[in-house]
Structure 1
Amino acid sequence: MPLGPSNSSNGQTPATQQLSSVGNPRFNVIVVGVAASLICLIGLRQFSDIIAPLFLAINLMITAYPLHSWLVRKGAPSWLSAMVVSLTVFAVLIAMVAGLVWSVTEMIGILPQYADEFNALYRQIEQFAVNTLNFDGAAMSKMLASLDPTRFIGAATSVLSASSSLLALIGVILAAIVFMAMDTPGLERRMVLLNENRSRIAAGIGNFAHGVRRYWLVTTVFGLIVAVFDAVALAIMGVPLVVVWGIFSFLTNYIPNIGFVIGLIPPTVVALFANGWQSAVLVILLYSVLNFVIQTIIQPRFAGESVGVTPTVSFASLLLWASVLGGMGTLLALPMTLLVKSLIIDLDPRARWINALIASDSKDAEPPDEYQPGDDD
């Protein structure tokens, strides 16, 4: 005879009733996960001036690490190979910053040379709008006045005026590279120990390192290809400063999705002033075709699974990390997404289902073959 009320009629045990009384556990986990993610993003934004350059330094050292391994295999002392790697990264970083500063400086210098062409274009647009489209002359003049080229010069000059913050940023990156170079000789041993104790975490870090290395190398190679084609085509069309536009196109290629648009605007403006609107339209068509063929069709075939997310997620990550990390977030958007994917989503077999929504390959949603429900590290 039962000693108390029984719940066997509805098939619920006392433990199930207690769990139900505090709400849906899956919903609670989702709410806690979203709240934790927001807190992490707010923290990253608060310390973005430190985190962004440190993460860029980590990316650079990961990309250059195969050089260290190759030198060690050839018999070089570990400390010497680490020094060579750090100096190589220094040289690449300084060259890219110098190229960016030089490109912006050349843009600032050439715009005043086309003041007469700009004034003529200004009058043509105003006459067409007033005489053909019947726009109000005063309103049209006021709107066109906002397109004064001195405004563009001022905007470009403001980029250079921020050189002190740029130097501080570079200083943080260089200092981080120095200390990472000191840690490089013992890195392999540390990864072996990590693999012995937390094999899944070690695998996640290895996947991230492989993916981010492949991403930067492929982006660099195809950025060079696009820059060469751009420079050659602009030279054939007679657009001034083809070397500047080639370098600028190469550097903006590191910004996913919208980088080619940023690299397109300056040569289009110069082509408009120097050779007319037909040349400007041709530049737009040229850049669009090259970007579509090389970066949209060919490059993903070589990039493979370097990041492994869909184009929509790639664009969303650009917006997210730009808002969190500022300007450097546009550069680090895909590596940051790869870090989250490798160490949070791919690492936990129970979370790999998210890859069905974000991964470029649906197979990433499948748990590892050796995984059994209830397994943990």
Structure 2
Amino acid sequence: MKTAGNLPPPARIAMIAAAVVIVLAGIRAATPILAPLLVAIFFAMITAPLMKWLTRRGAPPVIAAAAVVAGLIGLFAAAVAFLGVAFAGFIRSLPQYRESLLEQMTVLADYGIDIGSFTIWDYIDQGFLIQQVAGIARGVGNIAIDVFLIFVGMGFLLLEAPRLAGALERYIGADTSLYRHLAQSGSFLIDYVLVRTKVNLITGVGTGLFLAVLGVDFAVLWGFIAFILSYVPYIGLVIAAIPPTLLALIEFGPAGAATVIVVISLIDSAAENLVLPRMAGRELNLSPFVVLFSVVFWGFILGAVGVFLAIPLTIAVKLFLESWEETRWMGELIGNSSAEE
């Protein structure tokens, strides 16, 4: 009877591929449970240094964990409140934008296109629209439950971190490459979040300032959305640029929309291709193809959570593969070889 080690290479590859497919299918099926857990682990890892800082200054672990979680909840609540107020103002301005859009569309009359009798409600199924609103309301309720689970899980993880680290050291061994990579992964992820946040600040502030100078309404809102969505490399800022581009089209015509597209594309290119490689260390550099593929792949597996955590998850996979000599070449393939030269 042949063992796995005695099988020919094609058979071993097929077995490994089948095992990977089964594991990924299981992860996708368990996404409703795994997604909040992964977010809680991610937040616990990046806030662990603050937890240690508080405990070293005499704060009891329970108080320190509660303070960290409360601070994160405050930031989250402030962001939600800002978005709520800003979007409310935007919605109140929609009638004004409708009139401006109709004025812009009158230029089509010069080409023999009559839009005088055009009414958007003629092309919208209002029953379908009501169903979508109800679905969004249900989704908000589910998100609230997930957010509650994330913050509770994050608090417990912060409290349990020292015990978990000690257990890993005892059972895996402090001298093994796997333990060293696991120990380094926390600092790498913290470095990534810091670098990504700095780059996003440049992108968000640059986008907001440009839109404000151009005179596009709600420039601060679009800059903030650009800051948030830039955590999704390349794709996020493209999505964030759609609303201000449409507003520029309504307010300033095609020339204004084209200007917004060009300038935001330049800001994105400079941030991703010039600023990020200089600020990120070699360990955090990934192939551009791997970055795009990871966003699509983890988004397919984990949904929206996978889109935002695509790069941290890919970095974790890269470090995991580099823990063994047999798979180290795969980890090197994921990395950006140009950063090592």
- TM-score normalized by the length of structure 1: 0.77
Measure the CA separation in 2 of the matches of 1:147 and 1:265. 22
* SS at structure 2 position matched to 1:350: coil
Of the candidates 78, 82, 93, which is equivalent to residue 110 of structure 1?
93
Of the candidates 149, 152, 170, which is equivalent to residue 172 of structure 1?
149
Q: Structure 1 residues 228, 107: CA separation in 2 closer, same or farther (over 3 Å shift)?
A: same
Radius of gyration: which is bigger?
A: 1
Measure the CA separation in 1 of the matches of 2:122 and 2:167. 58
Matched, 1:27 2:10: yes
- Asked whether the equivalents of residues 101 and 160 of structure 1 are also in contact (C-alpha less than 8 Å), the reply is no
Q: Structure 1 residues 317, 168: CA separation in 2 closer, same or farther (over 3 Å shift)?
A: same
Please give the residue correspondences for 1:1-150 in structure 2 after superposition, counting only pairs within 5 Å.
25-125=8-108, 127-128=110-111, 130=112
- Asked whether the equivalents of residues 226 and 249 of structure 1 are also in contact (C-alpha less than 8 Å), the reply is yes
- Asked whether the equivalents of residues 298 and 310 of structure 2 are also in contact (C-alpha less than 8 Å), the reply is yes
Tell me which amino acid in the other structure corresponds to 1:217: L
- Name the residue aligned to 1:372: none
- Asked whether the equivalents of residues 199 and 275 of structure 2 are also in contact (C-alpha less than 8 Å), the reply is no
Matched, 1:209 2:186: yes
For residues 99-122 of structure 1, the C-alpha deviation after alignment (integer angstroms, 9 at most, x for no partner) is 455555444443332111222333
Q: Structure 1 residues 205, 88: CA separation in 2 closer, same or farther (over 3 Å shift)?
A: farther
- Name the residue aligned to 1:335: 312
Matched, 1:186 2:163: yes
- Asked whether the equivalents of residues 62 and 209 of structure 1 are also in contact (C-alpha less than 8 Å), the reply is yes
How far residue 302 of structure 1 moved from its aligned partner, in angstroms, is 0.9
Which deviates more, 275-284 or 252-261?
275-284
Q: Among the aligned pairs, what percent are the same residue?
A: 28
Q: Which runs of 5+ in 1 are unaligned?
A: 1-17, 132-136, 365-377
Measure the CA separation in 2 of the matches of 1:99 and 1:303. 30
- Name the residue aligned to 1:275: 252
- Name the residue aligned to 1:230: 207
- Asked whether the equivalents of residues 214 and 306 of structure 1 are also in contact (C-alpha less than 8 Å), the reply is no
Tell me which amino acid in the other structure corresponds to 2:181: G
* SS at structure 1 position matched to 2:285: coil
Measure the CA separation in 2 of the matches of 1:155 and 1:212. 40
Aligned length: 334
Q: RMSD over aligned Cα, in angstroms?
A: 3.4
Matched, 1:255 2:223: no
Measure the CA separation in 2 of the matches of 1:327 and 1:50. 14
Tell me which amino acid in the other structure corresponds to 1:272: L
Tell me which amino acid in the other structure corresponds to 2:27: L
Which deviates more, 211-220 or 354-363?
354-363
Q: Which runs of 5+ in 2 are unaligned?
A: none
- TM-score normalized by the length of structure 2: 0.85
Which deviates more, 198-207 or 215-224?
198-207
